[in-house]
Structure 1
């Protein structure tokens, strides 16, 4: 059975909520899903999963959150070749760069050899009812790419 990691960093709970719906969607496919906060994980753990879905909120003018930096920097040197991956996060359109953390995570996953299977999912603040379903669909898509 394919294993999928849904890893996230959340300050206000918005990105955590997205992670919960993404994990629900992935579980609907029959995949084994583990959901963790980044500060409870080590980057090397990603090697134990077939699929990796990482989420973070965007801080300030398009920066990764401080509590995610250690994990992000610790990813350097990992070989994620053969793994399917996707990124998600919450943000605020009032800032010049909307949800830049999602783009930074995608770029890092590509650099490490992972195959990006879905365009980054970006939500302003907390997901609406429609966006909750989009999160579930995102999780299903990520899981189905691993099952294929």
Structure 2
């Protein structure tokens, strides 16, 4: 069965974008379809699709600039029926490790959306090429879902 995924990317330096592209390639190889949103707006994202929120953390634990307007628009949204996954990139040398991903996960849950699996948090110190780890862990998540 083909599933369509909406891949919503929060990135400052490009690592989350690379992860999103690698996840998309893996999904495509499995026969699924996807749309990648680098400048996400709530109205452009199909609520009948499964969402993958893929974001890094920037500064003192903030979401990247490109995804902040989207995150703000979620605060008043009703997303009951939307299913989603979270992939976060961070650096464990900071006490705000993956805080951006945790923040968007909480916001999504507050809208009524359903988190389908435990979030994937990747330490870029341990995995300097985070897309390889993200694909391996997300593929495993889909297999057990």
Please give the residue correspondences for 1:27-38 in structure 2 after superposition, counting only pairs within 5 Å.
27-37=28-38
2:20 is the counterpart of 1:19? yes
Cα distance in 1 for residues equivalent to 2:51 and 2:69:
18
Q: CA deviation at 1:45?
A: 2.3
**Partner SS state of residue 71, structure 1:** helix
Relative to structure 1, the CA distance from residue 137 to residue 123 in structure 2 (aligned partners, 3 Å threshold; closer, same or farther) is closer
Where do 5+ consecutive residues of structure 1 fail to align?
A: none
CA RMSD of aligned residues (A): 2.6
When normalised by structure 2's length, the TM-score is 0.81
**Aligned partners of 1:44 and 1:75 also within 8 Å:** no
State the number of aligned residues.
143
Cα distance in 1 for residues equivalent to 2:94 and 2:36:
29
Cα distance in 2 for residues equivalent to 1:144 and 1:5:
20
**Larger % of helix: which?**
1
Q: CA deviation at 1:144?
A: 8.6
Q: CA deviation at 1:7?
A: 1.1
- Please name the residue that 2:132 is paired with: 132
* CA deviations over 1:44-99 (Å, ceiling 9, x no partner): 22344420011221112222223321111012222222221011122111211211
Q: CA deviation at 1:100?
A: 0.7
When normalised by structure 1's length, the TM-score is 0.80
